Structure 1
Amino acid sequence: MTARPRSRMSRFNVSALVLGLAFLYLPIAILVIYSFNASKLVTVWGGWSLRWYAEFFNDRAMLDAAWMSLRVAAVSASLATLLGTLAATALSRGERFKGRTLFSGMLYAPLVMPEVITGLSLLLLFVALNAERGFWTVTIAHTTLTMCFVTVVVQARLGKLDRSLEEAAMDLGCDPLRAFVSVTLPLILPSIVAGWMLAFTLSLDDVVIASFTTGPGSATLPIRIYSEVRLGVRPQINAICTLVLGLITVVIVAASFATKLTSARGEGAAPL
């Protein structure tokens, strides 16, 4: 038998891969390195220092904005995950639902709608309801936006799921709710976690919708950074962005370990 030739990457593929990774991650690497810069000038290297991290933790306005963003992202991601999972279940299991097409169209509309229109429409809604703009208005706005992404992720997993497992559980005496919680929910848990992570990241990054729905004293971190960058980039901004990158990295690693642990338990519990 003749051995199969080993596939080797051409120089063009290697060059394209290196250029692509450099385009994506080189600016981030520069930002992280310059967050430890001792100089007041962003583009001039003045040695290694933790000065700007200390200044960030002494900046009360920035700390309040960061805490506001974390709270909004956590609450809105949790609400979006709950509502998005229910919506995905309805779309996957409701083939006979007459309003399914209209419901799915309304649900996916924010995915393609410009954020300016979404933010303006939500602002008009809150003004009509005479709602005080602050934490909850921003949270509701972010939930409205990120729920669509969670629905897409969870629905894709439900579409590939073997429904005979859930039917077998009901044949053994489980009611539909218990069968869903005991059988289906553990199987789609990785997609739910992925949807939560996506919703959390989108909420933490949003500027446009938050600028329409926020009020005095409730500015999020992206809005605060954007308002300061317009007057000039300070080295403190690099430190803040580095901390946000570190937080997101920790969340992704923790979610990956949780997903692998859940998958390993599911495979271990599966019958041979």
Structure 2
Amino acid sequence: MTLAGLLTLCYLVLPNLVVLLFSFNKPDGRFNYTWRRFSADAWTDPCSVADLCDSLVLSLRIAAWATLGATVLGTAAAFALARHRFRGRPGVNALVFLPMAMPEVVMAASLLTLFLNLGVRLGFWTVLLAHITFCLSFVVTAVKARILSMDPGLEEAARDLYAGPVRTFLRVTLPIAAPGIAAGALLAFALSFDDFVITNFTAGSAVTFPMYVWGSVQRGTPVQVNVIGTAMFAVAVAAVAAGQLVGRHRRARADRRAGTRKSWHEVAS
């Protein structure tokens, strides 16, 4: 079982290692598909290729705003679905999962039809609205799962100690739900930054980083694309590692507090 897990991990990481390796390649022609010789020129100036960094900045802007919008709306919707009973709740639950089950090309064509019928000009705002739409479901699912696993006795204890609704939410409910909210936000950011199909339908003249990569494949992918991809992968790994370290530190601190309380109870008894 351990061997199978290691082989699966190597299979998943192998494409990223290939991207890393070819970010130090210096091809003879336009296509960076064959190893020629080692060079770090692409790392010294990754924005030397026209429009590459502009597309990257656009993707980061869209992903950031889409994450913010989807996280705020998705968190509110998750609390409503998990904590309240209202007419049409089963239907809303079904609609939440629809974008995740629907093929992207169908959703992209539907959004394009909607924007064209409304007379909306395709560009930054249409892409942003489209990304919030399909990221919303993933945020709702992640936050709702966290809320349903919460112990309601903790909020009841806070109310018994004369904490008001706002104070209970800010001091008890929100910190417990924070890991689910963070997971939904990170998932939304990754999905938005990486999306191509829906963006291609709704972008108009705007060019995001995935669209730039797709277009560059036809005329020759520059080495700088591998540099950007490697850098984004490194940032993602660093974020996950930081989250693991923070979580481990919090668990260790909680264990120490629990051990201290146990020692005091033993002394008192």
How far the C-alpha of 1:132 sits from its partner, in A, is: 2.3
- Contact 1:190 1:259 survives alignment (8 Å): no
How far the C-alpha of 1:243 sits from its partner, in A, is: 2.1
In structure 1, the partner of 2:53 is 63
In structure 2, the partner of 1:188 is 177
In structure 2, the partner of 1:121 is 110
Normalised TM-score (structure 2): 0.86
How far the C-alpha of 1:156 sits from its partner, in A, is: 1.0
Structure 2 segments unaligned to the other structure (5+ residues):
262-269
Normalised TM-score (structure 1): 0.85
How far the C-alpha of 1:188 sits from its partner, in A, is: 1.2
In structure 1, the partner of 2:161 is 172
Q: Secondary structure at the match of 1:57?
A: coil
- 1:209 and 1:171 mapped to 2: Cα distance? 49
In structure 1, the partner of 2:199 is 210
How far the C-alpha of 1:200 sits from its partner, in A, is: 0.6
Structure 1 segment 145-164 matched on structure 2, within 5 A:
145-164=134-153
Pairs aligned (count): 258
In structure 1, the partner of 2:234 is 246
How far the C-alpha of 1:172 sits from its partner, in A, is: 2.9
- Pick which of 199-208 and 57-66 moved more: 57-66
- Pick which of 228-237 and 197-206 moved more: 228-237
In structure 1, the partner of 2:34 is 44
Q: Secondary structure at the match of 2:37?
A: coil
- Contact 1:201 1:248 survives alignment (8 Å): no
CA RMSD of aligned residues (A): 2.4
Please point out which of 189, 209, 221 is paired with 1:200: 189
Check 1:21–1:257 CA distance in 2 against 1; reply closer, same or farther (3 A cut). closer
Runs ≥4 in structure 1, deviation > 6 angstroms? 264-271
Q: Secondary structure at the match of 2:51?
A: helix
How far the C-alpha of 1:227 sits from its partner, in A, is: 1.1
Percent sequence identity is 38
